[in-house]
Amino acid sequence: MDYGLIISVLTGALVSVASGQSRQYYFVNTSLNWTEAQSFCRQVYTDLATIENTADVSAVNSIASNDTGKAWIGLYDDLVNSWRWSLSNSSFYGEGETEFRNWNTNQPNGLNGKDHCVDIFESSGKWRDRPCSETKFFVCYNGIVNGTPSFVMVTTSLNWTEAQRFCRENYVDLASIRNQTENDIITNLTGGITVWIGLYREKLWSDGSTSLFRHWASSQPNLAAQECVTTSFSDSGQWSDDYCASSFPFICYKTSNAS
């Protein structure tokens, strides 16, 4: 992609500007795929737009008041690198232990864009990504007992968020699994019942922001293969997932105090 031509005509109707609380947003009315838009924003501004609150939503909407279509923002899916453990204490993990995985065949699959939490699948000890709204038993981590990690099976069916809260209030956290030995311990503990563990994922922001603010339209996100996110100017700036290879205008940003 030759960005020189685009950059040379960054005047008039091509780019509109608005300020949010901490960012200045730029609507680039040239259709590119998500990766191309990301590259352009990083070369010319700071990055694709991060939107962290309703004030930012309003600012983005204001720069395209005459546009009724969609535009890329910086939120995207990464089925490989976006997984993290509920227990975030870095001292708990040795080198490489946060990356241990025991996925079942063809997992994770991100089915319908809503599989953001992980269970251990019956007696196989393999893992699947599942909708966090499902209810099932779960395993909590209860600290180190006699020099070894202690896990507790809870036979109450809760969704993942409720299970996380229960573990944090009564033990330490939902179970992290750092190696095959711990995976085998938990599999034996559950007796072949499918249970929640502490692994989950969130969509990522292009600039590395950890903001969990979301402004999804109804029934969104809805497809695993649609891994990038657009904002819709005809729908109050609500978001939807779209195919990253599709071409849309896009929103860039730079910090408001940047030159």
Locate tokens 């502490």: which residue? 198
Position with higher pLDDT, 225 vs 247: 247
pLDDT band per the 50, 70, 90 thresholds, residue 11: very low
Look at residue 8 in the predicted model and tell me its pLDDT.
41
Instruction: Show Cβ contacts of residue 26 under 8 Å, excluding neighbours closer than 6 positions.
Output: 15, 16, 17, 45, 63, 251, 252, 253, 254
Check: CB of residue 129 under 8 Å from CB of residue 109: yes
Angle, CA of 70, 15 and 226, to the nearest 5°: 25
Rounded average pLDDT over 94-110: 92
13-24 residue pLDDT tens: 355 665 556 789
Look at residue 17 in the predicted model and tell me its pLDDT.
62
Look at residue 19 in the predicted model and tell me its pLDDT.
58
Look at residue 244 in the predicted model and tell me its pLDDT.
93
Q: Which one is the CATH code of 3-77+204-255: 3.10.100.10, 3.40.190.10, 3.90.550.10, 3.40.430.10?
A: 3.10.100.10
Compute the distance between CA of residue 103 and CA of residue 35 in angstroms, rounded to an integer. 28
The pTM assigned to this predicted structure is: 0.72
Look at residue 21 in the predicted model and tell me its pLDDT.
62
What value does the mean pLDDT of the chain take? Answer: 88
Rounded average pLDDT over 188-199: 96
pLDDT band per the 50, 70, 90 thresholds, residue 110: confident
Look at residue 5 in the predicted model and tell me its pLDDT.
45
The pLDDT of residue 252 is above 60: yes
Compute the distance between CA of residue 16 and CA of residue 205 in angstroms, rounded to an integer. 22
The pLDDT of residue 10 is above 50: no
Q: Could you tell me the CA-to-CA distances from 147 to 88, 178, 188 in Å, in that order? A: 20, 16, 19
41-73 residue pLDDT tens: 999 999 999 999 999 999 999 987 677 799 999
Longest dimension (CA), the chain: 70
- DSSP type of residue 13: G
Look at residue 82 in the predicted model and tell me its pLDDT.
83
CATH 3.10.100.10 location in the chain: 3-77+204-255
Look at residue 65 in the predicted model and tell me its pLDDT.
62
Position with higher pLDDT, 33 vs 2: 33
Rounded average pLDDT over 121-143: 94
